[in-house]
Amino acid sequence: MSLLAVEHVDTGYGPVAVNRDVSLAVGQNDEIVTILGPNGAGKTTLLRSIAGLVKPRRGTVTFDGRDVTVLHADEKAALGVVMVPEGRHVFADMSVRENLLLGAYCRKDRDAIEADIALMENYFTILAKKRGAKAGTLSGGQQQMLAIARGLMARPRILLLDEPSLGLSPLLVSELQGIIIDVREKFHAAVLLVEQNAGLALSVAEEGYLMNSGRIVASGSIDELKQSSVMQELYLGKRAQQNHGASPASL
Amino acid sequence: MDIFVQQLVNSLSVASVTILIGIGITLIFGLAGIVNFAHGEFLMVGGMATWFMAGAGMNFFVALVFAGLLVGALGFAAERCLFRFTLNRPMNGFIMSIGLSVILQHAVIRVFNEFQKSITDPVGLVWTIGGVDIIAMRAIVVAITVVIVAITYFGISRSRYGMALRASVSDRDTAELMGIPVRRYVTGVFIYGSLLAGIGGALMISLFPITPFTGSVIIIRGFAVSLIGGLGNVGGAVVGGLVLGLVDGLSAGYGYPEWTDAYSLVVMILILVLRPQGLLGGTLGPKAS
């Protein structure tokens, strides 16, 4: 059984349909799964519907064997499905420490929360230096670190990361790579990573889904995905070639 | 000098009522994006309830508590039955609140009548402090308001709930992603703001007579106060209330009392021209999602 299963989900805003018949799964063993795709492919909307900010129009979202399709975002967060939104969205007028505390809003174990703040400050050292600073005064990269740390403060079972590399310098992107792997290694959460930066996504994830125009167009292990003709077409601009020998499993 | 101090206490007691209603308006707007036009009627209902209970022989301060609870319950009902359906379309909520204000006015006229109501001074004392005579009830109104403002301010700036409330005001979606039940906070803020309006109504009728139409006058002042300080900013509502109360009281004492409303609104316009975000800076309401 998967930790998170999305089955035949349609999403949209008003008259605009975004996702159509999307199915995906994240396994039990703290997998890192990525959803790749060009701008406007519907990745963020899909993630928002998994997190509970958008209600799916059709289909189901199952988390840990429980149907969570219609739950609100705060209820899903309490279950351990925590999304780090695109563009960071830190609480700009509040201090770094307050942002971290808010990440732990659902938790009642006060001592453990303090211990986790220390853990975050130890891991993201910049947060210790900026503890009392307003989050809005941090640089873009620092805000991204804070947003991820805030998400981890909830002790999530799965962290949904929406375009974490957006606006980061190449140096920070390579740092992010290590952080995403550590989400699993050190903080024991699965990761569902939405990215436009295919290099980053392919280097950390084990499984991947390729999305275009609101649909999943390819999926499989990262190696399978790299070989797929759709992937090559979308990302490398190559025409699909005669060689279909390495087509992905569920294309 | 004596007159000045008396005018100051008078101004502060008037400012108190305005501050209480301003806090409610500012909190509800900050979180729900709703400009609740019926908030003035909530205050009026609180005043009328106090008049009724005091007339039935109840102690004023007990009546004040009941008026607060009654109007708090009214706010709860209004949010659950009406405003929660307009959360994503605040303009609809605004229009609905105008309707609600008319309904409340006429409900009160139907239950009682359209004439002005007053109660006798519940304390009936004059304190002489440093040679200055001060009506005790006015000082008590100021003291009660100071306590409420302090509780509200520290609740918002220090408590866990206050922190979650501020987060919800600044970014509703992200607050929900952190597990904060924003919808429950909206309900809570409606109840709390309405409770303050109920208490404000009770305090107001201890100072002046009120009519079923008092709400529509006081709401203008409430908005002026919230705008002067910065909508969504509780400290701002307090500063705005003080500014307006002082302009009011002093102009009534020294200038042309019939122009007091004009003075206050001119002050509001000047402040908003010079500092559109208000004195302490407000929010623009919840971001549309």
Q: What is the CATH number of the domain that holds B160?
A: 1.10.3470
Residue type, position B64, single letter: L
The answer to whether residues A59 and A69 touch, using CB atoms and an 8 Å cutoff, is yes
Kindly state the tokens that stand for B162: 């206050």
Decide if A189 is inside a domain. Answer: yes
Domain that residue B94 falls in: 2-274
pLDDT digits (tens, 9 = 90+) for A21-72: 999 999 888 899 999 988 888 999 999 999 999 999 999 999 999 999 999 9
Chain A residue whose CA is closest to B176: A74
At A98, give phi and psi (nearest 5°): -65, -40
The whole-angstrom distance between B71's CA and the closest CA on chain A is: 29
Angle at B144 between CA B142 and CA B145, to 5 degrees: 65
Decide if A77 is inside a domain. Answer: yes
User: What is d(CA A168, CA A140) in angstroms, rounded to the nearest whole number?
Assistant: 7
Residues of B whose CB is below 8 A from A55: none
Q: What is the 3-state secondary structure (H, E, C) of A104-142?
A: CCCCCCHHHHHHHHHHHHHHCHHHHHCCCCEHHHCCHHH
Domains identified in chain B, total number: 1
The whole-angstrom distance between B176's CA and the closest CA on chain A is: 5
Decide if B170 is inside a domain. Answer: yes
The answer to whether residues A45 and A83 touch, using CB atoms and an 8 Å cutoff, is no
The answer to whether residues A205 and A222 touch, using CB atoms and an 8 Å cutoff, is yes
Q: What is the CATH number of the domain that holds A104?
A: 3.40.50.300
Residue B3, pLDDT > 80, answer: no
Give the pLDDT band of residue A146 (cuts 50, 70, 90): very high
Decide if A243 is inside a domain. Answer: no
Give the position of tokens 């409606």: B190
Could A154 and B179 be called an inter-chain contact, meaning their C-beta atoms sit closer than 8 Å? Answer: yes
The answer to whether residues A180 and A32 touch, using CB atoms and an 8 Å cutoff, is yes
Could A89 and B174 be called an inter-chain contact, meaning their C-beta atoms sit closer than 8 Å? Answer: yes
Residue B223, pLDDT > 90, answer: no
pTM for the complete prediction? 0.85
Residue A247, pLDDT > 50, answer: no
Mutate to test the interface with B, among A48, A86, A91, A161 (most CBs of B within 10 A): A91
Mutate to test the interface with B, among A93, A95, A105 (most CBs of B within 10 A): A105
Domain that residue A48 falls in: 31-52+72-236
pLDDT confidence of residue A233: 78
Residues B156, B162, B167, B168, Cα dihedral to 10°:
-100
Residue B82, pLDDT > 50, answer: yes
Chain B residue whose CA is closest to A92: B170
Q: Taking Cα atoms as reference points, which of A223, A185, A237, A193 lies closest to residue A211? A: A193
Span B34-42, mean pLDDT?
Answer: 91
Domains identified in chain A, total number: 1
Decide if B85 is inside a domain. Answer: yes
Residues 163-222 of A with CB under 8 A from B: none
Helix (H) or strand (E) holding A33: strand A32-36
**DSSP letter string, A56-67:** -SEEEEEETTEE
Decide if A13 is inside a domain. Answer: no
Decide if A220 is inside a domain. Answer: yes
What's chain A's average pLDDT? 89
Compare B30 and B154 and report the one with higher pLDDT.
B154
What's chain B's average pLDDT? 88
Could A74 and B166 be called an inter-chain contact, meaning their C-beta atoms sit closer than 8 Å? Answer: no
The whole-angstrom distance between B227's CA and the closest CA on chain A is: 20
Decide if B23 is inside a domain. Answer: yes
pLDDT confidence of residue A249: 43
Chain A residue whose CA is closest to B181: A74
The interface pTM score, or ipTM, of the predicted complex is 0.88
Secondary structure letter of residue B210 according to DSSP: B
Give the pLDDT band of residue A197 (cuts 50, 70, 90): confident
pLDDT confidence of residue A167: 83
Decide if A3 is inside a domain. Answer: no
pLDDT confidence of residue B228: 87
Give the pLDDT band of residue B193 (cuts 50, 70, 90): very high
The whole-angstrom distance between B196's CA and the closest CA on chain A is: 26
pLDDT confidence of residue A28: 86
